[in-house]
Amino acid sequence: MDLSLNEDQTMIQEIARKFAQAELEPLAEQIDQQGNRVAFLNNLKQLAELGFMGLNIQGEYGGAEAGTLVFSLAITEIAKACASTAVTMSVTNMVAEVIQAVASEEQKRRYLPKLCSGEYAAGGFCLTETTAGSDPSNMKTSAVLEDDQWVLNGAKQFITSAEFAGIFVVWAVTDKSATKGKGISCFLVENGTPGLIISKAEKKMGQHGSITNEVVFDNCRIPKAALMGELNQGFKVAVGELAGGRIGIGSLALGVGLAAMDFARQYLKERQQFGQPLANFQGLQWMMADAYTDLEAARLLLMSAADKKEKGQPFAKEASMAKLFASEKANAACYTALQLMGGYGYIREYPLERYVRDVRITTIYEGTSEIQRIIIARELLREIA
């Protein structure tokens, strides 16, 4: 098996790396501590101009047509510098992909170029609710057809980039008599639509630059043509897109874990104790070796899942495996890095404490580690059914 990257893949990865180091890394702490939204939005615009907001979108809609593997590689490089930027990029790509997959031609031509170009700073993925997190089929948000308009009522929780998303993909119950998981449809709702209310930003443990809001629909009226895909078939769309999103979040986690270990590795070479560099102590060497081995294994799992998705093969199990392993091992790597740095890793003068805060959510959003294990087990049993 040839795991080497081709020339185009290597080039895009290098562009992402250079952009992250030159533009994101110098501002990451400021964005985290001061919430500099102007700088954050400027970074998103530059990413769009580089083609990173539509990496797997066809060229006729303004996308880069670079593929899922490049998407994974780019997210990892961006996350090394700023996890908040990386998650916004990941979700916006996911929104663009679901529009490309199931929207009408008119909808694609209307919204995809705006996402890919940065005219829309981001896209919003409105699935989660207070009673429908790990179990999205239990959603309560409803859409009722009145004459030539759908009327949306309900609320979505933990929506990334809601304040500056230009378009929302929204799931709602359209047939309350249907069995659980059925009767759910998917809609496109533009920001600024009357009845769409974005609540104040949540105060989070980490990823402070990435704005997270509750989105409320209060008799929000949208055109009949805002339905995306088939009526009452939206849940299947959500499940399919979440699998792709897990590749993004696994790649993000990998990037944060690598950033933490890279910083700690350099510190071990410079810090002196007992008359010699910390890097000379075997116990610390083994901690470093184990962490990098886990992160390399995570990288290979992500590449495998991305390759299957790119080839149009079933990839749900592989995506869940990659997300589970990458997020858990990245969390462990960040704590290992902090431990290697001792007290210095715990203070804000160094970025380790930010990495630890930023990486924690990766085992929760886009499906918790526990849900990933359920999906993996289900797929394994299905293979022998």
Out of 296, 366, 370, 379, the active site residue is 366
Please state the φ and ψ torsions of residue 328, each to the nearest 5 degrees: -70, -45
Q: CB of 321 within 8 A of CB of 305?
A: yes
Segments in 35-150 forming alpha helices (H):
37-49, 68-81, 83-102, 105-117
Distances (CA, A) of 72 to 157, 248, 310, 344: 26, 6, 11, 31
Q: Within a 10 A sphere around the Cβ of 230, how many other Cβ atoms?
A: 12
Q: Within a 10 A sphere around the Cβ of 182, how many other Cβ atoms?
A: 16
Q: CB of 187 within 8 A of CB of 178?
A: no
Q: Can you spell out the DSSP letters for 255-277?
A: HHHHHHHHHHHHHHHH-EETTEE
Across 253-340, where does the E strand assignment appear? 272-273, 276-277
d(CA 157, CA 132): 9
Please state the φ and ψ torsions of residue 315, each to the nearest 5 degrees: -140, 5
> Mapping DSSP to helix (H, G, I), strand (E, B) and coil, where does residue 278 land?
helix
**Can you read off the two tokens belonging to residue 141?**
């948000």
Q: Is 366 in the active site?
A: yes
Cross-strand bridge partners of residue 273? 276
d(CA 20, CA 14): 10
d(CA 288, CA 98): 39
Q: CB of 77 within 8 A of CB of 58?
A: no
Q: Can you spell out the DSSP letters for 187-203?
A: EEEETT-TTEEEPPPP-
Q: Could you give the residue numbers annotated as active site?
A: 366
